Amino acid sequence: MTKESRVSIYFFAPAGIFMLIFLFFPVALLIRDSFFEIDMIGQGRGAFVGLSHYVDAIRSERFIGATTNTIIYVVVAVGFELILGLFFALLLNTAFKGHGIVRTIMLAPLMIAPLVSGLIWRFMLNNQFGIVNKLLYDFNITSSRHAIQWLSDERFSLFSTIIADIWLTTPFMMLVLLAGLQGISPTLYESSQIDGANKIQTFLYVTLPSLFPVMIVAVLIRTVDAARTFDIVWVLTQGGPSNSSEVLSTYMYKTLTRYGQVGESSAMAVMFILLLLAISSYFLFVMFKANKK
Amino acid sequence: MLSKPNVEVSNKSMLGRLFRKNNKNIIGIFTVVLALLFISPYIYIVLTSIKPSSDAISSSPTFFPRQLSLENYVTMFNQMPIIRYFLNSFTTASISTILAVFLGALAAYGLSRFSSKTGHAFLLLTLCVRMIPMISIAIPMYIIINVMGLIDTRIALIITYTAINVPFSIWLMIGFFNNIPKEFDEAARIDGCNVFSAFIKVILPVSLPGLATAAIFCFMLAWNDFLFALLLTSTNAKTATVGISEFLTAYNLDLGPMTAAAVSFSLPIMVFSILVQRYIVSGMTLGAVKE
């Protein structure tokens, strides 16, 4: 080994050791724990149970329900965010007077904690004092001030958590797509104008295809983040009523803290990791194919 | 400037320009209205926090306060040791940020000067860490912290946040160091610096924008964290996010002080993030948009 590369290793070692202990070891522990019966109170490691935690989880109605809810949450939230984000990005890209100020306004929620977004919507969607129900009533959309029990009606609870997510992360989508739009070469637009394309054709055949790779990355990042959602759901509904807004993160949290089932929650966590890795590999594959073209 | 060769044509194009300009103004006004509408939930919370607490939980709420009052803020301070929670948030977030950025910068420097292949490996590792759901790390972390006897200590949170932030910090810094020519290091070495002092005295100062971006994101992750703080702390090390969430009671009577706490927690961050928007934008679009 050369002196140069040895020096490099010294530089890398502190971070490497830290990650080894507090990142890779926990993941390894997680995988091992998923095969054992573990009692939280006695702190003891019990019998090896093989894949039975995995089988139990897949067979349990609550796990399937939480997975379904997570998928609905991701698809609806990311779908709306993509459409709204693209809409705002296109508006901001027209460079009207004062677009800088609007951009700043739109980007202000970018760094707000998911928890705070949850609190804001918990307050606005409140059954008794919420302003959303009041506005719906004032505009004659609903017939009473308590018409929709946003957070305690099983039909709306999951939807309400999704609203808080869309509000919080549309600015991120807008920001990334705007950067993508500004990266499209003006010559592409010029040549489409020479070819006599109208605005809609230009959008469909120039803007969208050029934006596609950026869109894939933005959707991938948002999909992973939306799937991991915990704070928003916890603050708004804690997964209730009767598990109607239970997502994977909240279910695993309860399995660990309320029931003390380390083995069970570890098995679910491993499956969750595998699921997200599979989804992101698929996205990266699509992107790789698109880049090749 | 050219003289007007053809008055009619120039008039026509002027009309066209006027129309287009108007069009732009209409889009502009439309966008401003939409943006204000979009941000209104936050404005509503800020306005509610300065209403008298009876107005904050009125069954017929108004957007603007009818009367100003700091009652909600006073109740917030009286009801729980909120200052201690904020201090806990601040110390854990800042110490973990310093650790993650420093360890990350060291490692990234080593990797960027070693080989570009390891840099790619790190990109992959960062992506993988980003894919892992927080809850999946939280479960074994809970066990480890428990065994170490660190439950309800700020050290537990500092360790966790640093571990999560180090890969991101390495990845971000590799990009910056790769753009600094190796001649910089060589010049410093000729001037009598050793490898480490060249890094501290020459490389770090030129990469301040990168360090700032990394620090902002590391800090925000820790400051905004709720899951780990909820799981790993109970009284002594409780952070602001967990404290604020405790204003949510079954009968909603503390919603007024809750809005005050939420505003105190997020408004400084909002102002700060507007000030450093350049760094945030560069950090967020990194990876998504090729330069």
- What pLDDT sits at residue A93? 85
Q: For the purposes of burial, counting CB atoms within 10 Å of the CB of B164, is it exposed (0-12), middle (13-18) or buried (19 or more)?
A: buried
Domains of chain A by residue range:
67-292
- What pLDDT sits at residue B3? 42
- What pLDDT sits at residue B287? 58
Give the span between the Cα atoms of B22 and B128, in whole angstroms: 49
Nearest to A78, CA basis, from A219, A207, A179, A182:
A219
Per cent of chain A over pLDDT 70 is 96
- Beta-carbon separation of A113 and B284 below 8 A: no
Strand locations in B152-272 (E): none
Which one of A8, A96, A109 has the shortest CB-CB distance to B28?
Answer: A96
Query: Which residue shows structure tokens 């959602």?
Result: A229
Query: Which residue shows structure tokens 């969430």?
Result: B245
Q: Which of A 12-71 lie inside 8 A of B, CB atoms?
A: 12, 14-16, 18-19, 22-23, 25-27, 29-30, 33, 43
Give yes or no for residue A27 having a pLDDT over 70: yes
Per-residue confidence band for B9, with pLDDT thresholds at 50, 70 and 90 = very low
- A200 or A236: which carries more pLDDT confidence? A236
| CB contact set of A32 (below 8 Å; sequence gap of 6+) | none
- B24 or A230: which carries more pLDDT confidence? A230
Give the span between the Cα atoms of A223 and A73, in whole angstroms: 10
Interface test with A, best of B55, B85, B135, B146 (most A CBs within 10 A): B135
Entry field: residues in chain B: 291
Min Cα distance A142 → chain B (Å) is: 15
Residues of B in contact with A221 (CB under 8 A): 130, 288
- Beta-carbon separation of A280 and B30 below 8 A: no
Work out the average pLDDT over A44-48: 73
Residues of A in contact with B273 (CB under 8 A): 107-108, 110-111
The alpha carbon of residue B142 and the mean position of all alpha carbons in its chain are separated, in whole angstroms, by 25
Min Cα distance B211 → chain A (Å) is: 16
**Among the listed ranges A157-161, A215-219, B5-9, B217-221, which one has the minimum average pLDDT value?**
B5-9
The CA-based angle A141-A145-A151, given to 5 degrees, is 95
Which one of B31, B139, B162 has the shortest CB-CB distance to A266?
Answer: B139
Give the span between the Cα atoms of B241 and B254, in whole angstroms: 16
- A284 or A233: which carries more pLDDT confidence? A233
* φ, ψ of residue A46 in degrees (nearest 5): -90, -150
Which one of A218, A257, A273 has the shortest CB-CB distance to B231?
Answer: A257
Per-residue confidence band for A272, with pLDDT thresholds at 50, 70 and 90 = very high
Give the span between the Cα atoms of B119 and B110, in whole angstroms: 10
Nearest to B127, CA basis, from A173, A179, A224:
A224
Residue-wise pLDDT tens digits, B13-43: 555 555 566 777 788 888 888 889 999 999 9
- What pLDDT sits at residue A40? 64
Q: Are A26 and B144 in contact (CB under 8 A)?
A: yes
Which one of B27, B109, B248 has the shortest CB-CB distance to A94?
Answer: B27
Per-residue confidence band for B1, with pLDDT thresholds at 50, 70 and 90 = very low
Residue-wise pLDDT tens digits, B155-178: 999 999 999 999 889 888 888 888
Give yes or no for residue B8 having a pLDDT over 60: no
Q: Are A271 and A54 in contact (CB under 8 A)?
A: yes
Residues of B in contact with A128 (CB under 8 A): 57, 59, 252
Q: How many other CB atoms are found less than 10 A from the CB of residue B234?
A: 11
- Beta-carbon separation of B273 and A110 below 8 A: yes
Interface test with B, best of A23, A25, A93, A257 (most B CBs within 10 A): A23
Residue-wise pLDDT tens digits, A112-145: 999 999 999 998 988 878 888 888 888 877 777 7
Give the span between the Cα atoms of A69 and A67, in whole angstroms: 5
- Beta-carbon separation of A110 and B39 below 8 A: no
Give yes or no for residue B2 having a pLDDT over 50: no
Min Cα distance A281 → chain B (Å) is: 10
Which one of A130, A175, A256 has the shortest CB-CB distance to B285?
Answer: A175
First-to-final CA distance of chain A:
41
The CA-based angle A178-A184-A189, given to 5 degrees, is 120
Which one of B106, B144, B284 has the shortest CB-CB distance to A26?
Answer: B144
A180 close contact with B: CB closer than 8 A? yes
Crossing angle for the helix pair B116-131 and B82-114, to the nearest 10 degrees:
150
Q: Is A48 helix (H, G, I), strand (E, B) or coil?
A: strand
Give yes or no for residue A251 having a pLDDT over 60: yes
- Beta-carbon separation of A253 and B144 below 8 A: no
- A156 or B189: which carries more pLDDT confidence? A156
Strand locations in chain A (E): 36-38, 45-48
The DSSP element (H or E) to which B62 belongs, if any, is: none
Structure tokens at A75: 């698809």
| CB contact set of A83 (below 8 Å; sequence gap of 6+) | none
Work out the average pLDDT over A196-207: 83
Min Cα distance B165 → chain A (Å) is: 10
Nearest to A115, CA basis, from B243, B143, B139:
B243
What single-letter DSSP state applies at residue B60? S
Q: For the purposes of burial, counting CB atoms within 10 Å of the CB of A25, is it exposed (0-12), middle (13-18) or buried (19 or more)?
A: middle
- Mean pLDDT, all residues of chain A: 87
Residue-wise pLDDT tens digits, B124-154: 777 788 788 888 888 899 989 988 899 999 9
Q: Is A108 helix (H, G, I), strand (E, B) or coil?
A: helix
Chosen CATH of A67-292 out of 3.40.50.300, 1.20.120.1200, 1.10.3720.10, 1.25.40.10: 1.10.3720.10
Per-residue confidence band for A46, with pLDDT thresholds at 50, 70 and 90 = confident
Per-residue confidence band for B196, with pLDDT thresholds at 50, 70 and 90 = confident
Task: Pick the residue from chain A with its C-alpha nearest to B222.
Answer: A113
Task: Pick the residue from chain B with its C-alpha nearest to A5.
Answer: B114
Give yes or no for residue A165 having a pLDDT over 90: yes
- What pLDDT sits at residue B6? 44
Query: Which residue shows structure tokens 């948002």?
Result: A222
- Beta-carbon separation of B139 and A252 below 8 A: yes
Q: Are B270 and B276 in contact (CB under 8 A)?
A: no
Q: Are B168 and B214 in contact (CB under 8 A)?
A: yes
Give the span between the Cα atoms of B215 and B98, in whole angstroms: 7
Residue-wise pLDDT tens digits, B43-69: 999 999 998 887 877 777 888 888 888
Residues of B in contact with A107 (CB under 8 A): 273-274, 277, 280-281
Give the span between the Cα atoms of A89 and A82, in whole angstroms: 10
Work out the average pLDDT over A246-255: 93
Structure tokens at A140: 């004659």
Residue-wise pLDDT tens digits, B225-264: 999 999 999 888 999 999 999 888 766 678 888 999 999 9
Structure tokens at A281: 């590999």
- What pLDDT sits at residue B42? 93
- Beta-carbon separation of A183 and B131 below 8 A: no
Residues of A in contact with B253 (CB under 8 A): none
Give yes or no for residue A98 having a pLDDT over 80: no
Give the span between the Cα atoms of B65 and B50, in whole angstroms: 7
Strand locations in A31-165 (E): 36-38, 45-48
- What pLDDT sits at residue A161? 95
- What pLDDT sits at residue A138? 82
- Beta-carbon separation of B258 and A218 below 8 A: no
Structure tokens at A102: 């609007």
Give the span between the Cα atoms of A135 and B47, in whole angstroms: 17
Work out the average pLDDT over A179-183: 87
